[in-house]
Structure 1
Amino acid sequence: MKLLRILSLFTVLITSTLTAQNKQITLEEIWNGTFRTDGLQALHSLNNGKQYSVLNFDRANRATTIDIFDYKTLEKTKTLVSSADIEQIPYFTDYTFSKDESQVLLATEEEAIFRRSSLGKYYVFNTKTGETTLVTEDKIQEPTFSPDGTKIAFGLNNNLFVKDLNSGKISQITTDGVKNKIINGITDWVYEEEFSFVRAFDWNADSNKIAFIKFDETDVPEFSMDVYGQDLYQTQTVFKYPKAGEKNSKVSLHIYDLKTNSAEVVKVSKNYEDFYIPRIKWTNDPDVLSAQFMNRHQNQLDLWFVNASTKEANIVVAENDKAYIDVTFDLTFLDDDSFIWTSEKDGYNHIYHYDKNGKLINQVTKGNWEVTSYYGYDEKTDRIFYQSVENGSINRDVYAIKLNGTKKQRLTDKTGTNNADFSADFTFFINTYSSSDTPYLYTLNESKKGETLKVIKDNKDLKEQLKDYQISKKEFSTINVNGNDLNMWMIKPANFDSSKTYPLFMFQYSGPGSQQVANRWNSANDYWYQMLAQQGYIVACVDGRGTGLKGADFKKVTQKELGKYEVEDQIEAAKLLGQRNYIDASRIGIWGWSYGGFMSSNALLKGNDVFKMAIAVAPVTSWRFYDSIYTERYMTTPQENPTGYDDNSPINHVEKLKGDYLLIHGTGDDNVHVQNTMRMVEALVQANKQFEWMIYPDKNHGIYGGNTRLHLYTKMTNFINRTLGDKL
């Protein structure tokens, strides 16, 4: 009897262990936060170089806090601000220090406008007195401390204002702002989306001048979106949106002098007819402003230095490219007024050092690899810190190098994706590491050699939790497609049997300079792919020509023909994978979102003998429908390049449809308008082609909110099972 009980208990233990290891991932778990990682929110290194701050939520008090930690001990030294102690503020969502850290700007009641822009109420918290002051009763944009901490500039109703924090007085410094006509100091829609910034104003070092860009969008065509909401009648959102080849905002650069209370237009000697100002930034000299001017084709970029006192303006760097130039935020001014600049003019993105007059001192980094982030320059040790893909294009590491380009050091030793956040004095850095099988690991490292001092967060609980699930390894490799070795990952079922055949489901994005094959921790989609692998699918991703981090030639080969070479690569990759004895070539599908939706649509149409099905979420269906800055960067205008626009747009190939096609869009998409899907639907109908589609009312380009993502991924999973999973 005793032996039977022992055997019975042993059987139960073995069975429960096997069951635990075979736990299936569900869509509900993916989208309810079951696999969420723990991180550091709004990390800020304090000026003393010995402490850092993070944003936390105190669940016990249901309050937001800014907590201060010691670098050496990683111990919390104090709570600087807690919303529990501030009667006016139930919670805040972000914070910004003044330069001397005596004041903190707290963001509350934030509401999104577009992808990067928002409105909010802001409070100034004095760290010495504990006093909290509301900036203004209005919801405002981009409030920014002056360097001396005595004033805040902000945008409101398309105008710029300055609040004196000592007197409390608010002064309006522009008056001509009108919705959908004139914007001062805040970017228009297309600048925000494609040049990735919202605050188009900047304080000088002496806090007595503000440079700003004015956008005259009077002649820009309007786009409108119906908002269905909950009321009896729908409303409309109307905004200016320049599509490819249409009129852009007319931009001008201005400098406002707070002493004279007057603004002057900045004039440069070069005659620009149709141009952009994608970046402005004051140098360390309070009288010298830097401004980047770019032609509409975006293949010429001039860096100007403008003297606000003498009105003299000089070009210090002029770059030209046969295709286009990527604008970055890497311009950094050193104490001697020389500056750091990144450029891919030698074929790869690298760091350059120029003197204050624009004379090249030296190219700091060199090689057939890309610099992916510039972190800063430490004057004490004469070292530049940066991130690059020197250790393989799917990996990223942190490096240090002397300003003259010597004594390069790799400061991270784990293969995968490393990203550093340096202390203000560059003594320490917090490294965020992950790989395809290691969740985010936060460590404290010293910057001299990169030695790891302590672990801050390791997400071990998540890794332990995932042991209960049937997880497959993400396999990285390359595949030779159309004469190029392309990066690829593949996820096979955990019980993979090479003597069997499996359906193949391919994912890609494929946009210029993008990367999806990267050695980093799971996104939500990766758990979905694991779920599909559990159900018997092989999932693969191939980064084709046009994607990033493999040099300018590889990236820019798609110039003037978006959707040609990228689609050829996906079709050929699918053919090659279909030749493998464990893949069923008759059951290959492909999906993508945004640019990826454009690609999956094209792949199904142009590769109709290869792909059995495709899912396109929020796709561009004709480049004629998309915005000017993005589209013309790669295609020039439709007036100049009509065949480039039309030959590779899926809306012009609907008659080729043979397989199963699912088209998905949100009606509130301000980026890739639902017009793309509506016109694609009409073209398919007139071609008498059957397909499926799903519209999400009032959802933007991300298609989320409430149960939306769960519904979306349920719909896509059901479609995959119905079209590819018939033999599973």
Structure 2
Amino acid sequence: MFKSLNILTFFLLGTLISFSQTSDLSVEKIMQDPDWMGNFPSSVRWGIHGENIYFRYNPEKNESDSLYRINIQDPKKILKVTAKEQQDFIPNSGDFNDSRSMKVFSENGDLVTYDMNSKKRKTLLDLSFNINDPEFLADNNKIAFKAEDNVFVLDTKSGSIQQLTNIRSGSESSKSEKNPSEKDSWIQSENLDLLGIVNQRKETEENSKAYRESIKEEEDYKFYLNDRDLRDLEVSPNGKYAAFSLIKRERGESTNVPNYVDESGYTKDISARSKVGDMQFTAELALYNIEKDTVFMIDVSELPGISKLPDYTADYPDKEWKEEPRDIIPSQVRFSEDGEKAVVNLRSSDNKDRWIAFIDLETGNIKSIEHQRDEAWLAGPGIGYTYYGYETLGWLPDNKHIYFQSEESGYSHLYILNTSNGKKKALTSGEFEVFDPKISNDEKHWYFTSSEVHPGERHFYRMPLMGGKKEKLTEKVGKNDVSLSPDEQYMAITFSSMNNPEELFLKKTGATAEPTQLTSGQSEEFASYNWREPELIQFKASDGAMVPARLYVPEDSAKNDAAVVFVHGAGYLQNAHKWWSSYFREYMFHNLLTDLGYTVIDIDYRGSAGYGRDWRTGIYRHMGGKDLSDQVDGVKYLVENHDIDPEKVGIYGGSYGGFITLMAMFNEAETFKAGAALRSVTDWAHYNHGYTSNILNEPSKDPIAYRRSSPIYFAEGLEGDLLIAHGMVDVNVHFQDVVRLSQRLIELGKEDWEMALYPVEDHGFVEPSSWTDEYRRILKLFNESLLAE
């Protein structure tokens, strides 16, 4: 039986003397402040002239990282950037003119330019309000910028400023005078009768007002936001049009998270998110025709398929479903470089449809030129929305073709479409994905990252603008995160492999050049251990799919015939890859477990990133379905191929991994004897809207999906030993989740479970003492439950 975890009966002090197998690692060692591992670069960027590479670094082991630089002409010197240097930085944000001789940007709310030749900056405007998002118009002598929810244009030759839009908060009716009440009218009338001078002044003012109205020209056009918020205000390069979205959002009731250890000594509530289904969101798309001085509200009700009901409604024949246009959520309007054309990406509120629509800039009418539908949900690299990264959409320099990414083939690839004739062309294709495509400065090539070599590798490529042969520009096996120099002649590469954290390399942009390593940050203590390269395997799932995984196999002399299954969090995340994991603590813990004789498997189950649309949506309407059976099938693989005792299998994970652990302990008791569920979702109806509604729809509309996906409904199935660990100030997966589950376990009379609470921790733990306590408990659970120690 699983012994109480409230008092630890042993400590790991360098070696584990309580067991037959030992390790140079310990929980205390690997869970201490990560500074012990060394010093690794992050947030890499180039200086504006390409002379220096800047990055966050911490060789002095200060409280936080500082900014350092390397001059590419003297790459052996790593220099700390002074405060004065940082003040003189030209930010990455802003816009270049066509010749790239001048950059405009906003700094401290002012409008500033930087001359690339003279290397001098100049403040053009210092106003009483903040200036944002400046950009050169097609006429490079004019700069458009945004301020106070409107677009202005500065003519740099004449110095004149023109306000292009007149968008006002509130409503027109709110600006008019209110009619006085009956009581107030009586008081005013009596006052005027009694006081002749006051009455005379009132008559004079009314006569003056009437005269002004009679001679006034037509009033300037104003557009009122009413009770809506302005978003994605964008001006066309020719200055003739602006586009924006109007958002009305009601978030529903927030779930307060009590902070029991507030510095005040009192319990304080932290206002957190609402629950799935609570957020009411409506959006409208507007086009401001500046020459006509009017706003067109764009009608989307005729988009193809906008009223189509989702397939899951067939599971509810007794419910009346209305076929009516769904709300849409627009992205930023993209204008062509000449400013004469525009397209916009529109997404249905249930995220099952996506339209790329052409906007008639004279009438505000739209026409769908690309329509995609997914009965699960639309996402993937470059397709955007919430957890899936940014949106790839824009115009080629010919002002005729647009580019975008789509999962039409099953994998996210780069496409172009001729807006004149509707012809579409895939620039990339195959069973791999494309990330972060960017057009080169000379507008002749694409640069992008892809997984073409292997799902677990990332390499950087160059390809002709209209498609053709790809040139692979990186060669090191792992992850190559590339930042191009401003002139695109060099690549700053942040590279890592399975057992080596990120280091910085410099390479000339080309396939044959040799990279130069610029940093080497591992500490002696960290480097002294022989960190494993886990084997990347695939095993066959019960439905025939080949499931990727990382496998850690102990030496024969250490093997204890027990196995631990690790379930990564985030759901849509990849961990069976060839680079340094963001789960570095867990990676080190798996090395410790393997030293002690455990076989460890880390599975990229259904729903994980990196394997295309079908893998991504494999959990639709049933979380805890194929993503759980993939764990079970992984155990079967270990039993059949690695002589694992089926009575000695444990499972653990955090967040989504904690959720799967609970589903495993409740629904697969014959497979898993012990489990540690960390910061776990226990009832998906209590999680957030943006993530959950994609996968399970909304609770009131699709309750079947929620009941079969939420562990709290299956708690009666617990038979093995369960550890539940949760931070009490978790504003992502609320502590309330495990409180409700614990009450359910109490009412069911379950005995072999324990809960560890962390009063000062949010979703991602911060304190080394919390990490250490949590993983001591996990190791103790596996040792006692699986090895009967």
Same-fold call, TM > 0.5?
yes
Supply the distance in 2 between the matched residues of 1:297 and 1:65 (Cα, whole angstroms). 43
- SS of the counterpart of 1:457? coil
- SS of the counterpart of 1:680? helix
Q: Does 1:296 align with 2:349?
A: yes
Alpha-carbon displacement from aligned partner over 1:450-472 (angstroms, at most 9, x marks no partner): 5224332344x44x544422534
Q: Aligned match of 2:252 in 211, 220, 223?
A: 220
Q: How far does residue 37 in structure 1 lie from its aligned partner after superposition?
A: 5.6
Match of 2:654 in 1: 593
2:105, 2:134 within 8 Å by CA — same for their partners in 1? no
Supply the distance in 1 between the matched residues of 2:238 and 2:54 (Cα, whole angstroms). 27
- SS of the counterpart of 2:731? coil
- What is the aligned-residue RMSD (CA, Å)? 4.4
Alpha-carbon displacement from aligned partner over 1:509-562 (angstroms, at most 9, x marks no partner): 376543221111242321122233334433211223333333323333332222
1:126, 1:132 within 8 Å by CA — same for their partners in 2? yes
Alpha-carbon displacement from aligned partner over 1:266-290 (angstroms, at most 9, x marks no partner): 4445376443426314333446554
Supply the distance in 1 between the matched residues of 2:466 and 2:144 (Cα, whole angstroms). 39
- SS of the counterpart of 2:588? helix
AA at the equivalent of 1:333: W
Supply the distance in 2 between the matched residues of 1:610 and 1:670 (Cα, whole angstroms). 32
Flag the 1:642–1:531 CA change in 2: closer, same or farther, 3 A. same
Supply the distance in 2 between the matched residues of 1:129 and 1:62 (Cα, whole angstroms). 34
Flag the 1:599–1:261 CA change in 2: closer, same or farther, 3 A. farther
Match of 2:398 in 1: 336
1:563, 1:648 within 8 Å by CA — same for their partners in 2? yes
- Where is the strand percentage greater, Structure 1 or Structure 2? 1
- Structure 1 or 2, whichever has the larger Rg, is 2
Q: Aligned match of 1:538 in 595, 599, 606?
A: 599
- SS of the counterpart of 1:604? helix
Q: Does 1:236 align with 2:269?
A: yes
Supply the distance in 2 between the matched residues of 1:379 and 1:36 (Cα, whole angstroms). 39
The alignment's TM-score, normalised by the length of structure 2, stands at 0.72
Q: Does 1:42 align with 2:94?
A: no
Flag the 1:501–1:39 CA change in 2: closer, same or farther, 3 A. closer
Flag the 1:629–1:64 CA change in 2: closer, same or farther, 3 A. closer
Q: Does 1:476 align with 2:536?
A: yes
Q: How far does residue 307 in structure 1 lie from its aligned partner after superposition?
A: 5.2
1:182, 1:217 within 8 Å by CA — same for their partners in 2? no
1:274, 1:295 within 8 Å by CA — same for their partners in 2? yes
- SS of the counterpart of 1:318? strand
AA at the equivalent of 1:294: R
Alpha-carbon displacement from aligned partner over 1:147-198 (angstroms, at most 9, x marks no partner): 149787589xxx8999999999999965359xxx967357xxxxxxxxxxxx
Flag the 1:331–1:151 CA change in 2: closer, same or farther, 3 A. closer
1:287, 1:308 within 8 Å by CA — same for their partners in 2? yes
Q: Does 1:524 align with 2:612?
A: no
Q: Does 1:507 align with 2:503?
A: no
Segment of structure 1 superposing worse, 372-381 or 582-591: 372-381
Q: Does 1:184 align with 2:229?
A: yes
1:396, 1:416 within 8 Å by CA — same for their partners in 2? yes
Q: Does 1:724 align with 2:786?
A: yes
The alignment's TM-score, normalised by the length of structure 1, stands at 0.77
Flag the 1:630–1:697 CA change in 2: closer, same or farther, 3 A. same
Segment of structure 1 superposing worse, 202-211 or 316-325: 202-211
1:655, 1:684 within 8 Å by CA — same for their partners in 2? yes
Q: How far does residue 208 in structure 1 lie from its aligned partner after superposition?
A: 8.7
Match of 1:191 in 2: none
Q: Does 1:675 align with 2:663?
A: no
Segment of structure 1 superposing worse, 583-592 or 58-67: 58-67
- SS of the counterpart of 1:42? strand
- SS of the counterpart of 1:419? strand
Q: Does 1:98 align with 2:94?
A: yes
Supply the distance in 2 between the matched residues of 1:53 and 1:262 (Cα, whole angstroms). 46
Supply the distance in 2 between the matched residues of 1:202 and 1:705 (Cα, whole angstroms). 43
- SS of the counterpart of 1:586? coil
Match of 1:621 in 2: 682
Match of 1:32 in 2: 33
Flag the 1:325–1:657 CA change in 2: closer, same or farther, 3 A. same
1:343, 1:349 within 8 Å by CA — same for their partners in 2? yes
Q: Aligned match of 2:624 in 554, 563, 575?
A: 563
Supply the distance in 2 between the matched residues of 1:695 and 1:172 (Cα, whole angstroms). 54
Match of 1:405 in 2: 467
Flag the 1:422–1:455 CA change in 2: closer, same or farther, 3 A. same
Supply the distance in 2 between the matched residues of 1:414 and 1:77 (Cα, whole angstroms). 23
Alpha-carbon displacement from aligned partner over 1:217-267 (angstroms, at most 9, x marks no partner): 2373433333442224433344663514x4522223346799999976544
Q: Does 1:421 align with 2:483?
A: yes
Supply the distance in 1 between the matched residues of 2:402 and 2:626 (Cα, whole angstroms). 38
2:726, 2:738 within 8 Å by CA — same for their partners in 1? yes
AA at the equivalent of 1:602: M
Supply the distance in 1 between the matched residues of 2:355 and 2:58 (Cα, whole angstroms). 45
Alpha-carbon displacement from aligned partner over 1:14-47 (angstroms, at most 9, x marks no partner): xxxxxxx974244345431245464444333456
Q: How far does residue 211 in structure 1 lie from its aligned partner after superposition?
A: 4.5
1:375, 1:387 within 8 Å by CA — same for their partners in 2? yes
Supply the distance in 1 between the matched residues of 2:652 and 2:696 (Cα, whole angstroms). 24
Match of 2:219 in 1: none
With a CA cutoff of 8 Å and minimum separation of 6, indicate the structure with the bigger relative contact order: 2
Flag the 1:660–1:24 CA change in 2: closer, same or farther, 3 A. same
- SS of the counterpart of 2:332? strand
- SS of the counterpart of 1:558? coil
Flag the 1:609–1:173 CA change in 2: closer, same or farther, 3 A. same
Flag the 1:556–1:366 CA change in 2: closer, same or farther, 3 A. same
Segment of structure 1 superposing worse, 645-654 or 275-284: 275-284
Match of 2:329 in 1: 277
Q: What pairs with 1:704-723 in structure 2 (closer than 5 Å)?
A: 704-705=766-767, 707-723=769-785
Alpha-carbon displacement from aligned partner over 1:680-719 (angstroms, at most 9, x marks no partner): 1221111111321233336432233574434433443444
Supply the distance in 2 between the matched residues of 1:224 and 1:54 (Cα, whole angstroms). 38
Q: What pairs with 1:321-720 in structure 2 (closer than 5 Å)?
A: 321-326=374-379, 327-328=383-384, 329-337=391-399, 338-357=401-420, 359-367=422-430, 369-378=431-440, 380=442, 382-449=444-511, 451-459=513-521, 461-462=522-523, 465-469=525-529, 471-482=531-542, 483-493=544-554, 495-497=555-557, 500-509=559-568, 513-522=572-581, 523-580=584-641, 582-690=643-751, 691-697=753-759, 699-705=761-767, 707-720=769-782
Count of aligned residue pairs for this structure pair: 660
Flag the 1:528–1:68 CA change in 2: closer, same or farther, 3 A. closer
AA at the equivalent of 1:575: K
Supply the distance in 1 between the matched residues of 2:787 and 2:656 (Cα, whole angstroms). 26
Supply the distance in 2 between the matched residues of 1:259 and 1:32 (Cα, whole angstroms). 60
Identity of aligned residues (%): 19
Supply the distance in 1 between the matched residues of 2:520 and 2:692 (Cα, whole angstroms). 41
Supply the distance in 2 between the matched residues of 1:214 and 1:264 (Cα, whole angstroms). 12
Flag the 1:172–1:722 CA change in 2: closer, same or farther, 3 A. farther
Supply the distance in 1 between the matched residues of 2:268 and 2:128 (Cα, whole angstroms). 26
Structure 1 residues not aligned, in runs of 5+ = 1-20, 107-120, 187-199
- SS of the counterpart of 1:578? helix
2:412, 2:432 within 8 Å by CA — same for their partners in 1? yes
AA at the equivalent of 1:243: V
1:146, 1:203 within 8 Å by CA — same for their partners in 2? no
Q: Does 1:145 align with 2:145?
A: no
Q: How far does residue 640 in structure 1 lie from its aligned partner after superposition?
A: 4.2
Match of 1:306 in 2: 359
AA at the equivalent of 2:609: G
Q: How far does residue 664 in structure 1 lie from its aligned partner after superposition?
A: 2.4
1:489, 1:541 within 8 Å by CA — same for their partners in 2? yes
Q: How far does residue 625 in structure 1 lie from its aligned partner after superposition?
A: 1.9
AA at the equivalent of 1:175: S
